[in-house]
Amino acid sequence: MLRRTMAIFLGSFCIGIGINAFILPFHLLDGGMIGISLLVKYVWGIKAGLTIICLSLPIYILAWKLERSYFINSIHGMLVSSVVIDLLEPLKGVMKLPIMESSVIGGLLIGTGIGIMLRHQTSTGGTDLLALFISRWLSINVGMVIFLIDALVIIAGLYVLGEGILFYSLVTILAVGFATMSLTLIRQIKIY
């Protein structure tokens, strides 16, 4: 339990730093629930963490009905990461890196945070939780499922971003997917 709690906080801080210090300043997107919440933030100014909580509720209801262990293991991760994302919002604009470096570093931090949490059987909820269901049902690596969902969110956000920002958002998603897949594959190698 202590290891899972530490993983939730470490993962949440990685995600919060990645989003606020590197992604928000350039109005980039990630995929999944984070990407959707960033779109909501850019369009309506609503806090990203609060949006994650609100939009994750239906998925948590599904988790409660289908597999309560997923619900129990990820509710804390979703709540903590959402609060940390909103608490670390003052980091926006602190880092003065070019957009390409920001998209890569932000994506690696977010993916590392997600991967740390997934390795300890917890998640940020939202589409990560949905990806866990899909990966178990179809025997596909969870990082790959997250990558596919992320790509769909980016395509849906194209009209908000414009073509120039779209490229860098795709770079962010590739970095998130790479870091998440790397950490989840490391776990699979240690198991076998």
Q: Residue 24 in 3-state DSSP?
A: helix
* pLDDT band, residue 188 (cuts 50/70/90): low
Kindly report the pTM of this predicted structure. 0.86
Q: Is the pLDDT of residue 160 over 80?
A: no
Instruction: Report the alpha-carbon distance of residue 126 to residue 187 in Å, rounded.
Output: 22
- pLDDT tens, residue by residue, 2-55: 888 999 999 999 999 999 999 999 999 988 899 999 999 998 999 999 999 999
How much of the chain exceeds pLDDT 70, in percent? 96
Query: CA-CA-CA-CA torsion for 174, 177, 181, 182, nearest 10 degrees?
Result: 50
Instruction: Report the alpha-carbon distance of residue 139 to residue 57 in Å, rounded.
Output: 25
- Give the pair of three-digit tokens for residue 132: 């866990």
- pLDDT tens, residue by residue, 59-105: 888 888 877 877 887 888 999 999 999 999 999 989 889 999 999 99
- Give the pair of three-digit tokens for residue 109: 């931090």
Q: Is the pLDDT of residue 184 over 90?
A: no
Instruction: Report the alpha-carbon distance of residue 156 to residue 12 in Å, rounded.
Output: 25
